[in-house]
Structure 1
Amino acid sequence: MAQTAPPPGEPSPPPPHSHHGASGSPWASSGTVFAGVLLFVDGVLAVLNGIAGIAKDNVYARIGDYTYQFSLTAWGWIHLIIGVLLVITGLGILKGAEWARALGVGLASLSIVANFIWLPYQPIWAVIAIAIGVFVIWSLLTDRPRAAR
């Protein structure tokens, strides 16, 4: 069957093998790779934060009084565990594993919550990590996997 051109003024539909995701956004499809890299890097930095918190309980100073208080050693273990999971998930996303996409959304959400509670110890980095988590979630949820295209 012959394809007809769209009426003047209307955009043509994307080709069947387009690199755009469900949202039609090239930002989302290329953002998935970037999300994998961000999860990996965020995980490595969380591991380093965790090691610093475990090794010395006085590395970080609390700014003000905060409702959610844990010992820095506990925070070290929390960051270390989340960091290892983020690294594994980021590598899975970069390899195209479907399990990693779903786990990436969950771990990015967990990272957002942990960094919100971590605000009094490293406020600037916590806000940056929260923004990274929001981007990762958006990117992973708006881009369809290649097999579904």
Structure 2
Amino acid sequence: MTGDLTAGEPRAPRRTRWVVVVRLAAVLLFLLGCWNVWDGISALARGGFVVADADRVLLLEVTKWGWVLLALGVVELAAAAALLRGAGWARVVAVLVAGFNGIVQLAFLVAYPVGAVLILVLSALIVWAVVRHGHEVGG
């Protein structure tokens, strides 16, 4: 048996330094998941409505959003852990939940402009890193 032992076998994706960026995106997704779980639990405990001010009304039933944020946070935590391990499904879920989280933050721009923009930017970075370089982490 002489020759190349790897002949005919599929090649593993080439790993570059961008793997670090994808892992950082997974850590950021984990932090966003923790944030959403915390916000969800506090919203469920607090209840009521959020109103920004008389000129710009943002009427939000907090308990319903609490359940949405709690579920979103749990999915983000699971996707972040799986993304660190290189699961292919986690890349899809990470892009979906980070994208959804970024879009949801548009509703909170009136009430919490700095926090909403920060989370929107983090969500965009997660989506970019996973879409552009996520295949390099996968196995």
Report sequence identity in percent: 24
Residue 62 of structure 1 corresponds to: 51
Residue 50 of structure 1 corresponds to: 40
For structure 1, which segment, 87-96 or 136-145, has the greater mean C-alpha deviation from structure 2 after superposition?
A: 136-145
Deviations 1:78-130 (A, max 9, x none): 11111111111011101111100111111111101111113334322111110
Q: TM-score, normalised by structure 1?
A: 0.73
Residues 31-110 of structure 1: pairs in structure 2 closer than 5 A: 31-57=21-47, 61-64=50-53, 65-66=56-57, 69-110=59-100
RMSD over aligned CA atoms reads: 2.5
Q: Aligned partners of 2:104, 2:126: CA distance in 1, in Å? A: 15
Given that 2:102 and 2:120 are in contact with CA atoms closer than 8 Å, whether structure 1 keeps it comes out as yes
Deviations 1:9-59 (A, max 9, x none): xxxxxxx98532xxxxx4x4321000111111100110000111110125x
Given that 1:46 and 1:82 are in contact with CA atoms closer than 8 Å, whether structure 2 keeps it comes out as yes
Given that 2:102 and 2:123 are in contact with CA atoms closer than 8 Å, whether structure 1 keeps it comes out as yes
One-letter amino acid matched to 1:127: V
Residue 8 of structure 2 corresponds to: none
Q: 1:132 to 1:86 in 2, by over 3 A?
A: same
Q: Aligned partners of 1:116, 1:57: CA distance in 2, in Å? A: 21
Flag structure 2 segments of 5+ consecutive residues without an equivalent.
Answer: 1-11
Given that 2:101 and 2:120 are in contact with CA atoms closer than 8 Å, whether structure 1 keeps it comes out as yes
Given that 1:57 and 1:72 are in contact with CA atoms closer than 8 Å, whether structure 2 keeps it comes out as yes
Deviations 1:122-144 (A, max 9, x none): 32211111000000011001115
